[in-house]
Structure 1
Amino acid sequence: MFRRIPKKKTVIPVFPTTLEGHGYQYNPNSDKISMFGEPDSPYIYKRTNNELHNFRLKQQVNQHIQQIICEKLEALGLHPHTTIYCTPDINSNTEKLLVVIPESRIFGVWSDRALFDDTLNSGCVLQCIERAIKEGYSIVITNQEQLTWIRDLKKALSIPQCNALGLSHHALQVEIPGNETPQKHIQYVFEHFVLTAPAKAIYVLASGRATPILTDYLDKHCA
């Protein structure tokens, strides 16, 4: 006699919903991230001797920092498009377009080490975007790391973030069509946003691991 084994329900781990809940805080006046209640203390990377705990904590903190950055980008007038951000004039600015391609696994971040050790602005794209807007650029910011859509959470995450949440094989995660890899993401952004824009001049600002992905795309499709 065969007996159907009931499927185990996947439970998404519950984490604090605020940066403060993880023991950290962001001070908008000093633009620094520090330990909660200790504004002059540096960010502590190794909270315990459990490396898995430290890894999961870091991924959670990254998401909260990303939320702060996204809120600041939206305050500058940029609109989110699933995993990327654009200024609303991308289809009307006929002069110049800036494509920003940061390398970090945190959206909008050049260097998380600079971000945590110095200030938020020193490690992310905010100052660059603010200046570009003032100088009349329309803007696209890519996000070639967070390409897995989590239906339960209604947002895209990177593979390390999925692992930190225990979602590596979660049934409700799906790759974003046309954006399954960083290479495909860059191609998708160029074909659907950059090359369809009316701007006469297109400028690209890329860093780190993102640079060879960009140059490979340009060699294959824009030579």
Structure 2
Amino acid sequence: MDGFYRIKREGFPEDLADFGYEFDKEGKLRNIETGEGFKYSARFKDHYYNEKHYEALADAMTIEVYKMLESECKLKRAPVPYDVKGDEERTFIFHSEDAFTNPDKLLVLMHGSGYVKAGQWSRRLIINDSLKSGSQIPFIQEAQKEGYGVVVTNTNDNHHHELGLVRGSEHPEAHILHVWKHYIYPAKAKHIAFIVHSNGGRLVSLLYPQVEEQFNGRVFAVAMTDSNHYFERHARYVGLQKVSRNWACNRRPLDTPLRTNNGDVVRVSAGTKVHEETSWLCFNSIFKYLRERLAAVKAKEGEGEGTSEATNKESCGNGDKGGGSCLVEEELKGEVKKMKT
């Protein structure tokens, strides 16, 4: 074994170039010879072959995204399980050079369910639109510009066909718990944030009760895009609710407050009804939210340099453990309450 598993589909190549495709400078998938975008119909009226071709090409695209995470984002791989032994099955996460040594802040990215792997929000968008809308690369690059260490999870890489389950990543829930225990929590960062899409929100909600005290002490923000989380006992998740916002599928303008059930994460509009588009369309709003949350936390901790009156207002000073409540979030809750009445 070469240490990291690569999917091989019988009868199809492994590399994107061998399919006749490449990503252009704009991050769009193009036919190398014609310059045209991806075409699903590789064989006329042969749905079975076309579907297999698409899946194999998506696997090759995944390998290409991995290469870009390393070449363009300068990320490195770390094994899961963290203490991998000999030739046992394994997967990996990606992390920036300073992910575990940055004393200030760490950002964790988590995709949804299905076939997507590390660095992806949506295979369909990467293949049919661009890397910009479908991959996590813009989020990683922006986080690095803002001084974050970065961890990119790989929650759907759980088993390797007949080769067996991966220890520490037997299922998505096991993966994020393993990565939290052995990579995220031991990191030096005082402040931790998550950006999670779809099932990633559910995984955070399942992780939270298992590591509640650790989570409350350091996680200042969880930005969710059309999350499918569910809180069985609302009172148990107060700490998570307080630091989270969910950009949900909705036709209303981006960031419009939406009706939020009691005890749930504050919901705002993602400005689209298309589930997989939510992450990219909320890009600017998400990073604005992270900046506001972090400013509020640091103001409360007395870390803010030249803290302005406006920044002080963001910290509600209600004595909550960890993140602290942001004025912007309280205003949104007020708007939601008006909607309910």
TM-score bracket, shorter-length normalisation: 0.7 to 0.9
Q: Determine which structure has the larger helix proportion and give its number.
A: 2
| 1:49-88 pair list within 5 angstroms | 49-75=45-71, 76-81=73-78, 82-88=91-97
Q: Matches of 1:50 and 1:222 in 2, distance apart?
A: 51
Partner of 2:115: 105
Displacement after TM superposition at 1:36 (Å): 4.2
Determine if the alignment matches structure 1 residue 217 to structure 2 residue 207.
yes
Match of 1:118 among 105, 110, 129: 129
Using the TM superposition, name which of 107-116 and 132-141 deviates more: 107-116
Displacement after TM superposition at 1:119 (Å): 1.2
1:31-79: per-residue Cα shift (whole Å, max 9, x none)?
Answer: 211334221x332234344444333222221222122211221122211
Displacement after TM superposition at 1:193 (Å): 0.7
Determine if the alignment matches structure 1 residue 42 to structure 2 residue 32.
no
- Runs of 5+ consecutive residues of structure 1 not aligned to the other structure: 1-10, 150-167
Partner of 1:30: 26
Counterpart secondary structure, 1:148: coil
Counterpart secondary structure, 1:127: helix
The two structures, once aligned, show a CA RMSD in angstroms of 2.1
Q: Matches of 1:58 and 1:197 in 2, distance apart?
A: 39
TM-score calculated relative to the size of structure 1? 0.77
Match of 1:189 among 166, 170, 179: 179
Counterpart secondary structure, 2:59: helix
- Runs of 5+ consecutive residues of structure 2 not aligned to the other structure: 1-7, 79-90, 214-341
Partner of 1:132: 143
Q: Matches of 1:187 and 1:46 in 2, distance apart?
A: 41
Displacement after TM superposition at 1:17 (Å): 3.3
Partner of 1:93: 102
Percent of aligned pairs with the same amino acid: 24
- Please say if residues 83 and 147 of structure 1, whose CA atoms lie closer than 8 Å, have aligned partners that are also in contact: no
Which structure carries more relative contact order (alpha carbon 8 Å, separation 6+)? 1
Q: Matches of 1:14 and 1:83 in 2, distance apart?
A: 27
Q: How many residues align?
A: 190
Partner of 1:16: 13
Counterpart secondary structure, 1:34: strand
Q: Matches of 1:53 and 1:111 in 2, distance apart?
A: 22
Alignment CA distance shift 1:43-1:68 (3 Å): same
- Please say if residues 168 and 174 of structure 2, whose CA atoms lie closer than 8 Å, have aligned partners that are also in contact: yes
**Displacement over 3 Å in runs of 4+:** 46-52
- Please say if residues 63 and 106 of structure 1, whose CA atoms lie closer than 8 Å, have aligned partners that are also in contact: no
- Please say if residues 115 and 123 of structure 1, whose CA atoms lie closer than 8 Å, have aligned partners that are also in contact: yes
Displacement after TM superposition at 1:12 (Å): 7.3
Displacement after TM superposition at 1:100 (Å): 0.3
Larger radius of gyration: 2
Partner of 1:4: none
